[in-house]
Structure 1
């Protein structure tokens, strides 16, 4: 793992690594499709010309407009989304949100599992090329 970048926004913290980013939404935030504008800026800065995986580390309670996923899915080099949560209600929310995203999407109990899956998704993608 090489260098990483850290972004601190009012509604979220984002850690950007070579092949994936980790998003941690702040407690009580309301996430809407408009939030993809900032995500797109980060993608253009760090992932131009390469695939990446989005990892949502759900350590806080917040709400997500499911239509946000419809916009997120339009990011052409987004290979998949991993959701990390260890609570039943957040897992149920993530299962529901999955219906709005038509790329690889998986829910994990730990960040380590999600990172391993991200590497597998990207390896599989590159082998198909």
Structure 2
């Protein structure tokens, strides 16, 4: 399921998730959102896949992705994907820290009309 959602572009060719994320902002995200939400909520799915689904949903300014981050902030020890990434210098879990960094890098907080302005408009900003 993850391969089809995030490792295949909108022409059916192999792709990297970052490319799929960016291309979807031009209007294709809606066709993949339902599958990503299902993956995110599937308690039996691979934790890394669930984390990636959350990252992508947040990149697209999806309310379910943001709600998941808020829930995670309230109980970080209960996350299925806790420990999926570690800071190589401190050997500390840094999985949760990837979300704000990706938002800042993607510009999802921007309202100035850059390449991620569609995501900002979805948030009503």
Query: Which bracket does the TM-score occupy, shorter chain normalised?
Result: 0.3 to 0.5
User: TM-score, normalising length from structure 2?
Assistant: 0.32
Structure whose alpha-carbon radius of gyration is higher: 2
Larger fraction in helix: 2
Higher relative contact order (CA 8 A, sep 6+): 1
Larger fraction in strand: 1
